[in-house]
Structure formats: C-alpha cells, structure tokens
Amino acid sequence: MRIRKREKEKVSILDLEGNIDINSSDLIEAVGWLLNHRKSNIICNMAGVNLVDYIGISILAIIYKNVLNHKGKIKFYNIPPHINKLFNIVGLDKVLERFDTEDQALNSFGEDDIIAGIMEKKLRRRFERAVFNSKIEYKQKFSHNAGIYKGKIINISAAGAFIIGEKTFPIGEMISTKLYLMPNPGVVKLEAKVIWKSSSDVHPLEYPAMGIEFYNIDSQAQKAIIEFTERHIAGKDLE
C-alpha cells in the first residue's frame, strides 16, 4: 500500500491508498516511526483504501495498541461504507474512533483535552443524572436507509442518557440523536453509542429502553448539557 505522511495542527496524518492486508507491514512501520519521533497523535485517512482483510484487521489492532502503549491517540476518517461494515462485524467499531471528515478528526483532539479537563476536576455533580422527561429523535449513524425513531429521555447526565423509544439497537451501535432540552439549550444534535439495553423480564416498566453514551461531543455541547443537568439537579435539591 502507499502511505503519505503529513502534519496539521501538530497532528500526524497518514493518507492511505490500496489494500490493508498481509503486505501492509509498512503501515506498522510508519506508525512506529511517528511514535519513535514523539508524534503520538495520529489520524489515518482511509479514503483511498480499497480493502481490509482479516490480516488487515490484525494490523489495525497492532497499530492501535502500539499507539495506546505510547499514551497516544489514533483516529480514522473517510472510511468507505463497506469497510465500516466490516469494522462493525468484527467489533472494531467499539474500539476505533471514526469520523466523517479530516476537520472533525482534528478538532476531536482539542475536544478530548477539554473533556479530560472536566473529568479531572472530579466534580461529582457534573456527572450526576438529572431526572427529566423530554423528547429525543434518533437513527442509526452508519445505515443508508436509517429510519428516524422517536423516544423519551428519562434521565440525562453530561456523559449520556437513558431513553425509552420506539426501537432499540444492539449494544455498541452508533446513533445520531436530536435532544429536545427545552427551554435552554434547546435542540442539541449529538452522536452516541448504545451501552445498555433494558429487558422486558427485568425492566417491564422501562421497555424497550436503552442507555446511550455521548460520543465525539464538542466542548460547547458538553458545557450546555452540564449546565442543563446542574439546573435540574439543583431544582431537585430544592424540592
């Protein structure tokens, strides 16, 4: 395969072309070279990748683990739909950070730092759940024929929400959501990952329902949701 290295905003970008297969050890070498030169924030542009076979999956797992061992981050964008489908099948969708555009991938590094700063404050209230009944619309992110489903938010935190809806998806499924957090901040569009599903036997009053974790959330949306949950928690404390 062909690999072109470039740098933007202190992030190393690898433009990949060809197949990721048994002949792609040069990808491991390219990532290793970056890590040896203290370049641990890496993005792979997959637009030119035609095929990823099962050896290629192992290669991607190796470079991912190598970057993590160097306390870095590696992200992917412009992933062709058929390769995205393969990632979903083998479970890489639960591991790899995937974006539609280069700008989204680049911006995510800054957002990671902001969110990490919030987490480091260890302010318990910021991640408490506020009980709140509101509307939500959602659909599968990586489906060309995705229907839009409606549901109700039962509770929400800065990290995620618990929703009851017309349809639930498997754990690990990526969804696009539209939250109606009235009156302020209003309608908020977010990506999320399904991390929990209710059972009709165990949770008969909360079925069908699922827990979602917000994903690729930008700092402005994170701040708005934190402020929203804090207002409702504060209101609860006054009752």
Find where tokens 């036997």 sit. Answer: 201
Determine the structural domain holding residue 128 and report its residue range: 124-238
SS3 assignment, position 136: strand
Q: Which of 65, 94, 120 is the last residue of a domain?
A: 120
Amino acid at 1: M
pTM over 0.75: no
Q: Which of these three, 120, 138, 164, is where a domain ends?
A: 120
Looking up residue 132, the CATH number of its domain turns out to be: 2.40.10.220
Residue corresponding to tokens 């730092």: 113
My answer on whether 129 and 87 are in the same domain is no
| Beta carbons within 10 angstroms of residue 128's beta carbon | 15
Angle formed by the axes of helices 54-69 and 81-90, to 10°? 70
Helix (H, G, I), strand (E, B) or coil at 108: helix
Yes or no: say if 212 and 195 are a contact pair by the CB < 8 Å rule: yes
Q: How many domains does one find in the chain?
A: 2
Single out the residue in 120, 145, 160 at which a domain terminates: 120
Sign of the C-alpha dihedral computed for residues 160, 93, 59 and 217 taken in this order: negative
Question: Do 37 and 79 share a domain, yes or no?
Answer: yes
Task: Looking at the structure, tell me whether residues 110 and 161 fall in a common domain.
Answer: no
β-strand pairing of 160-165 with 97-99: unpaired
> How long, in residues, is the chain?
239
Please report, in tens digits, the pLDDT of each residue of the chain (239 residues total): 899 999 998 999 999 999 999 999 999 999 999 999 999 999 999 999 999 999 999 999 999 999 999 989 999 999 999 999 999 898 888 889 999 999 999 988 887 776 666 555 544 545 677 877 889 999 999 877 779 999 999 889 888 999 999 899 999 899 999 999 988 889 999 999 999 888 766 556 677 899 999 988 888 888 888 888 888 875 543 33
Instruction: Tell me the sheet residues that pair with 210.
Output: 163, 197
Same domain, 150 and 226: yes
Claim to verify: residue 185 and residue 84 sit in the same structural domain: no
Q: Are residues 137 and 204 in the same domain?
A: yes
Task: Give yes or no: residues 116 and 135 share one domain.
Answer: no
